[in-house]
Chains A and B, each alone.
Chain A
Amino acid sequence: MDTNSPAGVQTQGPEEGRPVGGQPPSDALIDIRGVKLAYETKDGRLPVLDGVDMQVPEGGFVAVVGPSGCGKSTLTRLIAGLLEPNAGEVWLHGERVTGPKSSVGMAFQNPVLLEWRSVLRNVTLPLELVAPRMPKREKEERALRLLTLVGLEGFERKRPSELSGGMRQRASLCRSIVHKPEVLILDEPFGALDAFTREDLWQTMQKVKSEEPFTGVMITHDLRESIFLADQVIVLSGRPAFTQFTMEIPWKGERDLDLLYTAEGAEMLGELRDQIQIAQGRSPREADA
């Protein structure tokens, strides 16, 4: 299956015909350069992003953290091509992003499963758009493989309403990667889950990443989650947001939860917490004092 080719896929981005010039500034799969964006509200312009930079190599996984309402979700919509920046550039695989691409998968805090479809048919949904000519049986085999990978085998014929919160999020994850997207965008995917379920989902996420490699951007509020899953953590400043701090995570491949409780883990978490406090407009450690 070649889902990277847009053949047979109708992309109807609003800027389809716009000439796109220039060369990609680097060989990173996701390359965001000096992106600025302001929303027009009835109280005037509301600047949300003010100079965000971010590079994600192929196969990389970046976590974006920052204060509430700093524009993290706006950033994901820019990468997905659902919004266009006022200034700066978003590049995906050497192409300037000017509209939605079929090579993006998204999952949100709200699993937004379609209640009238079985779990299996929820997972096959993106294939109906991206690969309309793929035989139904093949679509279902692919979906079933993913459901088995995340531990939902035996639940494929159930309705989403019969699943628990964690299971719904697992199904949503399957749906976001079923069409082998170049980029997986996760917007606080585990934000609504309890702590234990969340840690289970972290393990599942790692398993999925090693079996079905993807390049990912994850928005999160959980610093432990960010260093446990990502290769790189980016801290955005308060609104209007710029890239305030970037941290490389030295851990590679599948990780053990115990790593979070080592001196190294604690040091990284401390550093990130300081950065968040700076982003919130407070001096580090002020809250502790």
Chain B
Amino acid sequence: MYELDMLMRGFQTLLTQPLALLLCVVGVIVGIVIGALPGLTATMGVAILLPFTFGLDPLSGLLMICGVFFGGVYGGSITAILLKIPGTPAAAATAMDGYELTKKGQAGIALGTATCSSFLGGTLSVFVLIFLAPLLASFALEFSASESFALAVFGLSIIASISGKSVTKGLIAGFLGLLIATVGLDPMGGFPRYTGGYTELFNVPFIPVMIGLFAAAEAFKSMEDPAVRNSLGTTLGRIIPPWATYRRMLPTVGRSSVLGIIIGIIPGAGADIAAFVAYNEAKRFSKTPDNYGKGELAGVAACESGANGCTGGALLTMLTLGIPGDAVTAVMLGALTLQGLQPGPLLFREHADLVFTLFAGMLVCYVLMLVLGLASLRVMGRILQMPKSVLTPVILALCIVGTYALNNSMFDVGIMLAAGIIGYFMQKWDFPASPVVLALIMGPMAEANFRRALSLSGGSYDFLYNRPITVCLLAVAIVTLLLPLVRRLWRKPGVPATDGGTDNAALASDPAGNGE
């Protein structure tokens, strides 16, 4: 098989390049650190390291960037699980169940599951990139504005299933997020909406809002209860999940990885969307969906494998078509061009040796991510042993500096604080924050693509029902939106939902909660 032979040759070439391997390690470490810090995303990490690649050979430079990319997507999960600070937007989905597991004293197993799932999702996506790139590249071309709009609607329909106890409150939070998402420049005409003259509001500041709603709100909450204030932290516990536990989650991981790959291939859709979609599908396929949001290990596995599955998908369109799937691959596209390489079908023909050595290096990056990730978790986990009275102020300081680092703007920090205060009251009165974040991610995508599709179709709404992918996605969106409502109506009054999520006993029996 041509691809396999070339991959083996790629590994042989890579072994003769110690600098490239060393830079893989550097890239992965930098990526994990950047991903774990609030406000700093993989995009920023790649942009920071880009100038360092100018003097390097193409392989070493590109592998270092890949290391940052992969490590950055994974790193966000660490602080999301330990501290409920989503280091990256994708980790906002991981925080939903990850932090609940930490509160139950299962932080170690949640982190271990996140690491293993990130590795599996990412590795699978690289294999798909190697073996199915030309085949799947054509799929990306099927996606025009109407399909992207339908994907965004599908993403938004997830709000119903992550609404917690009250769908009404979840929908209110979601539509509030959608309304906030309209702040900024109108996607078609460029008219500033609800900006009050502030240029800082020309783009929706969704990362400050996310940090405020999740991390700052949680920190404010921990100031309220004296028992929490004075408590010592918990320990990390076991890290690597028992095989019997993880084995049951493998179907979820596999399904989420495939979803991540498909979403990664779609231009404009990134790891954040993949994580939420994977979470929703894991919940839908689960036999105990009520455990999701209360500390379900399979929820963590789904988000992480989905987010990391996105990496190979995003690279696929960038390498084969020259279309960057997200912001990180857009920066990588620049790096490739600077190295004198032109992405597209000819890249695979004219620089096949380099491309397959790069693929081999990507697989090495993921192995390094697994090893370095698992090795660093004990050190990271020491955070939990800090007294809450020290940890909470440090979290707040990290929220401030992380938000500031986004645009070097104190205005953003002010937004973060406002979101933190609102998030605190939302928590207090059972309004979920996740729908707001999801709406901020999907809202601009939905509006921009709907209006683009409408313009392309000359003002006709035909595009909603005469394009197969659009119809399928919209149909799935309707089912996703209505399913939780039907379930609630179907459930007998007075029969409470299964409570508690993955407790210790359940961990031994069916942690995936899916019975698969």
Chain B associates with chain A: no
